[in-house]
């Protein structure tokens, strides 16, 4: 088995015993200069399909690194079927939400635009890098899907009927989130958590969401939370309600 502080890397290649992999300049820099790894050191690899595998470094050069795949250390697991929907916010909070949602096992991340969304121009490739690094660090075996930003109204129009929409409503008299989520979790159906923008949803948006047949309105408490805080709190509460923490 690889040592506990072994480096983990996400790769797109198929992972099978004895396979040789050549990684790019970025990986070579990370392994050789950042992590100070040398030939013969172990590296853990995953691709979201074949589980986790132990590999050994063959050679670390300035422009490339070679690896030899040895043995599987963990089989692929089925990820929790939980989506996170959050209204577009500025870059720093968006980065934090994507990072923590990945660590907390979200299967898909949907960034939506609302009447009060306040955001900078998003670079999807940057968000994918953040998710990849979070998965590598957290021992997750897959990466979440990250969809391009879209209007919340358009997403609601084609919402899958079988997926519960847990609406974290900052106003009104919704039940406590943990109680509401526990009831939804008992149905054992796919779910999604919806977090609003910094300025909150408009009254028209709140009415539209609450009236949706898949919606379950819940409250995160009496305090006004920042979007990134609300997202993390809601995901932790869902995991607590479902008992779905995963290695």
Where, residue-wise, is CATH 2.40.240.20 in the chain? 7-74
User: Into which CATH architecture does domain 7-74 fall?
Assistant: Beta Barrel (2.40)
pLDDT, tens only, 77-88: 887 899 999 998
Q: Which range (85-99, 154-168, 211-225, 232-246) has the least confidence?
A: 232-246
Q: Would you state the structure tokens that stand for residue 213, as one six-digit string?
A: 């047949």
Where, residue-wise, is CATH 3.40.1280.10 in the chain? 82-242
Q: Give the CATH fold of the 82-242 domain.
A: Alpha/beta knot (3.40.1280)
What DSSP assignment string belongs to 97-126? HHHHHHHTT-SEEEEEE-TT---PPP-HHH
Q: Which range (19-23, 89-93, 171-175, 203-207) has the least confidence?
A: 171-175
Rounded to the nearest integer, the mean pLDDT of the chain is 90
pLDDT, tens only, 167-213: 999 876 788 999 989 888 878 789 999 999 988 899 999 999 999 99
pLDDT bucket at 128, cuts 50 / 70 / 90: very high
CA 134 from centre of chain: 8
CB 116 within 8 A of CB 200: yes
CB 31 within 8 A of CB 43: yes
CB 145 within 8 A of CB 182: no
């Amino acid at each position: 088995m690889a040592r506990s502080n072994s480096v983990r890397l996400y790769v797109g290649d198929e992972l099978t015993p004895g396979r040789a992999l050549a990684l790019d300049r970025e990986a070579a820099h990370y392994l050789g200069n950042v992590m100070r790894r040398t030939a013969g050191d172990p590296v853990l690899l995953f691709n979201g399909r074949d589980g986790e595998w132990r590999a050994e470094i063959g050679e670390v050069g300035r422009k490339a690194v070679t690896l030899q795949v040895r043995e599987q250390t963990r089989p692929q697991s089925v990820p929790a079927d939980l989506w996170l929907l959050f209204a577009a916010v500025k870059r720093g909070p968006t980065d934090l939400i994507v990072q923590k949602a990945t660590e907390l096992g979200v299967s898909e991340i949907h960034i939506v635009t609302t009447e009060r969304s306040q955001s900078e121009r998003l670079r999807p490739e940057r968000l994918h890098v953040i998710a990849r690094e979070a998965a590598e660090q957290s021992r997750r075996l897959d990466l979440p899907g990250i969809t391009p930003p879209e209007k919340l109204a358009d997403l609601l129009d084609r919402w899958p009927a079988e997926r519960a929409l847990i609406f974290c409503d900052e106003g009104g008299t919704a039940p406590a989130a943990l109680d509401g989520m526990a009831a939804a979790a008992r149905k054992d159906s796919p779910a999604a958590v919806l977090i609003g923008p910094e300025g909150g949803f408009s009254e028209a948006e709140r009415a539209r969401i609450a009236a949706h047949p898949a919606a379950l309105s819940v409250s995160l408490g009496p305090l006004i939370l920042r979007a990134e805080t609300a997202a993390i709190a809601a995901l932790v509460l869902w995991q607590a309600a479902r008992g779905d923490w995963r290695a």
